[in-house]
Amino acid sequence: MSTPVKKVPIHLQSSQNRLIIKNGKVVNETGILEDDVFIEDGIIKQIGKNLIIPGGTRVIDARGRYILPGGIDPHTHFEFDFMGTRSVDDFYQGTKAAIAGGTTMIIDFVFPKKGESILDKYHEYRQKADDKVCCDYGLHVCLTSWNDRVRDEMKTLCQQHGVNSFKMFMAYDFMLNDEELYSAMEACKNLGALAQVHAENGSIIRKNVEKLKAQGVTGPEGHELSRPESVEAEAVNRACVIAKAADSPLYVVHVMSKSAGNVIREHRDGGAQVWGETLVAALGTDGSHYKHTCFHHSAGHILSPPLRPDPTTPGYLMNLLAQDVLQLTGSDHCTFKKEQKAMGQGDFSKIPNGVNGVESRMAVIWEKGVHSGLIDPSRFVAITSTNAAKLFNVYPRKGCIAVGSDADIVIWNPAKTQTISAQTHHLAVDFNIFEGMVCHGVPEFVIVNGRVCVDDENLRAVQGHGTFVETPVNAPFIYAPEKLEEIFESKKNGVLDEVELHNKLAKIEFEPKTCFTPTLPDSAIGTPSCRGARPEGQRNIQDSTFSISEEMDTERKSCIKVKNPPGGKSSGFW
C-alpha cells in the first residue's frame, strides 16, 4: 500500500519549478518543430530557439528525442468493484504506472450499481481518488439504470461537478434497453455532454453462454465464443442508429474487431458524429491466447468485448486509427490477480473481465504504429493524447505542447528499447498481457504539471501530485464545429495570427443554459468558454499563445477535418 506524500506548494519548490528542454523535436498533432521548451510553475511558458530564461533553471538535453504531450488515457477502471471482486490497481498504483509509461492524465469511470445514485457514487470516487492520484484525472459516469433521478443527477454532475461524459452498457445485467439508450443519449445531447457506449448485444451473449455451458464448454475459450465479432458489430450499428435518431453525438468505447470498426467507418462516411476508441490490448495482442492450455494465461487475457482470434485484427485496427476511422486509444486498464481470475475456473462467465494497459499503452502503440511505419509521430500524439483532450474538452490545456498549456510532457527516446514484463512493471497485478514484448521507444523523462516524475528513467511519482480536472460540457470540437471552422478559415486566409487563433479558440462562447458554473476561489480563472477553476499558478488560456504553425485546410463534415502539413502523413480529424 502507498504512503501519502504531502504536496509541496508551488511557491516553495524554488528553482525546481523551472525547467528547459533543449535540442529535442517538439511533436504536436499538426507537425514537428525543433524548438526548446521552457517550463515554469507547471506551465509551458516559452517555446522557441535562444530563449531568454532565468539563471538556475534545470536543463534537460533532449537531442535525438521527441518531446511529446503527455499521454491521456481516456479509459481506466482503478479500484473498481466488479463481478464480485475489486480491481487491484488503485488510483495510486494505477496513476504511478501510467506515469512510468508516459501517460500524464487518465479518465476513469464512476460506476454505480444498478439503482444507486450516480451523484453519490461520483463523490465516493472523488474521495477515493483525490488524495491518491500521482497525475491529473477526470471522471466519466456510467449509467447502469435509467430513471428521472438519473436524469436530474446527470444535470447536476454536468453543471456543478465537471463531468461531461456518460457511458451506457448494451451488455451485462445493468445494460439499458434501446428506448433507455435513446433517452440517455438525448439527455447527453441536451446537456452538451458526450454519450459513450459499451457496444455488445447482451441478450445474444446471455443465450450463447447458456448454450455453450449446456454443451459442456466451461473454460476461458468460451468467452470469445459467446461474444463473437457479429455481436459487437450489431451493437455498434444499433448504437449509431439510436444516436442518430436521438440526434446525439456518440463515442464508442473499446472497438475490438474489424467488423465493428467497419460499421463506424460506414456511419462516419454517412456524416454521423461518431468517434471510436480502440484499446492497446487490441493493438498489441490477439485472441489466440484464449486457446492457451494454462487457465491463468487465457483467463488473464479476458476482457469484453474480447480479443479477436483473427490475427490480422491488430494491424487492421491500427490502420483504422491511421485513416481516422478510429480516433482514440485507451487501455481499459482493469486488473485482477490470478487468484481473482480463478473465480471463473469451471465457468468462463464468472472470470472477472479486464486486462492491464495503462503503463504499456504508449510503448505498444509506438511499436505497432510508429516503429512499424503505419503512423507518424504526429498521428501518435493525436491518438494517444490530443483527440482525447479535444473530445473531453480539456484542450488546449492538455493534449498539446503549446505556450500556456500544462507542462505534461514526455521526452521519448525512439532509439532505446524496453521489454515488457510482469516482473518489472509498476502495477499491483501479477500478470501482463504484453509479457516479453520488445518495444522501441522509452519515456526517459515524464514531466507531470511541471514536476519531473520520471527522471532519466527513474520513476519519482508523487502520491497526491495530481488533481481532479473538470471536463466542461459543450466541447467546441463536438458542439460548435462551425465556430471552429470559421476560426481555422481565418487563420488559413492570414486574417488571424497564431496568438489570435489561440485566443479565439479559448473564447468560444456557448449558450448560457449550458454554461459551466463552478464555485470559483478568488484566484481562479473563469473564461467565457466555461472552463473550471484552475489552481493558483496555472495559466489563463486567454492570455497565452498557442502554436498551430502549419497551414490548415478545413472542410466541414461531421466535425472539422484538418489536412496535415506537407510531409506529415498523420490524418488529424479536426
In the bound complex, which residue of the shown chain has the CB atom lying closest to Zn ion? 198
CB of 354 to ligand URQ, least distance (A): 4
Among the listed ranges 280-288, 324-332, 394-402, 447-455, the one in contact with Zn ion (CB under 5 A) is 324-332
With binding defined as CB under 5 A, does residue 332 bind Zn ion? Answer: yes
| Member of 354, 357, 472, 568 binding ligand URQ (CB under 6 A) | 354
Cβ distance to ligand URQ smaller for residue 46 or 82? 82
**Minimum distance, C-beta of residue 489 to Zn ion, in the bound complex (Å):** 38
End-to-end Cα spacing for the chain? 42
Q: How far apart are CA 570 and CA 572, in angstroms?
A: 6
The CB-of-135 to Zn ion minimum distance in angstroms stands at 19
Would you call 446 helix, strand, or coil by DSSP?
Answer: strand
* By CB under 6 A, residue 463 contacts ligand URQ: no
In this complex, which beta carbon is closest to ligand URQ, that of residue 199 or of residue 541? 199
What torsion, rounded to 10 degrees, do the Cα atoms 420, 426, 430, 432 define?
-30
Residue closest to ligand URQ (Cβ):
353
Whether cis (ω within 30° of 0) applies to the bond prior to 305 is: yes
Name residues contacting Zn ion, limited to 185-244 (CB under 5 A): 198
What is the closest distance, in whole angstroms, from the C-beta atom of residue 133 to ligand URQ in the complex? 20
Answer whether 476's CB lies under 8 Å from 391's CB.
no
Does the footprint of ligand URQ cover residue 331 (CB under 6 A)?
Answer: no
Cα separation, 415 vs 441, in Å, equals: 6
Q: Does 303 bind ligand URQ (CB under 6 A)?
A: yes
Q: Are 124 and 79 in contact (CB under 8 A)?
A: no
**Interaction of residue 278 with ligand URQ, rule CB under 6 A:** no
The rounded distance, in Å, linking the Cα atoms of 442 and 353 is 29
**What does the block give as the cell for 109?**
469511470
Nearer to ligand URQ, 44 or 171 (CB): 171
Q: Is 229 in the site for ligand URQ (CB under 6 A)?
A: no
Best CA proximity match to 252, nearest among 241, 183, 303, 119: 241
Q: Using CB distances below 5 to 8 A depending on partner kind, what does residue 272 bind out of Zn ion, ligand URQ, none?
A: none
Verify binding: residue 508, ligand URQ, rule CB under 6 A.
no
Separation of alpha carbons 255 and 306, rounded Å: 10
**Among 307, 206, 197, CA closest to 263:** 197
Nearer to ligand URQ (CB atom), residue 253 or residue 448: 253
Contact 125, 81 (CB under 8 A): no
- Lay out the site mask for ligand URQ across 82-101 (x = CB under 6 A, - = otherwise): x-------------------
Q: Is 276 in the site for ligand URQ (CB under 6 A)?
A: no
In what order do the strands lie in the sheet containing 43-48? 43-48, 36-40, 18-22, 58-61
Counting contacts by CB under 6 A, is residue 304 touching ligand URQ?
yes
Looking at the Cβ atoms of 172 and 455, the one nearer to ligand URQ is 172
- Interface residue with ligand URQ among 226, 298, 331, 353 (CB under 6 A) is 353
The residue among 355 and 506 lying less far from Zn ion, judged by its C-beta, is 355
Q: Per CB under 6 A, which of residues 64..83 are in contact with ligand URQ?
A: 77, 82
Distance of CA 186 to the CA centre of its chain: 23
Residue 353 interacts with, from ligand URQ, Zn ion, none (CB under 5-8 Å by kind): ligand URQ
DSSP letter string, 106-149: EEEEE-PPTTS-HHHHHHHHHHHHTTT-SSEEEEEEEE-S-SHH
# chain residues binding ligand URQ, by CB under 6 A: 10
Q: Output the smallest distance, CB 109 to ligand URQ, in A.
A: 7
CB of 206 to ligand URQ, least distance (A): 16
**Which residue, chain included where needed, has cell 539563471?**
55
Torsion of CA 532, 535, 538, 544, to 10 degrees: 20
- Picked from ligand URQ, Zn ion, none, the partner binding residue 379 (CB below 5 to 8 A depending on kind) is none
State yes or no: residue 334 binds ligand URQ (CB under 6 A).
Answer: yes
Is there a contact between 184 and 166 (Cβ–Cβ < 8 Å)?
Answer: yes
If binding is defined by CB under 6 A, does position 332 make contact with ligand URQ?
yes
Which of 237, 225, 432 minimizes the C-alpha distance to 308? 225
Q: Which of residues 144-203 bind ligand URQ (CB under 6 A)?
A: 198
Buried-state track 171-192, b at ≥16 Cβ within 10 A, e below 16: bbebbbeeebbbbbbbbbbbbb
- For ligand URQ, the closer CB: 76 or 529: 76
Where along the sequence are the contacts to Zn ion (CB under 5 A)?
A: 198, 332
Contact set with ligand URQ (CB under 6 A) = 77, 82, 198, 254, 303-304, 332, 334, 353-354
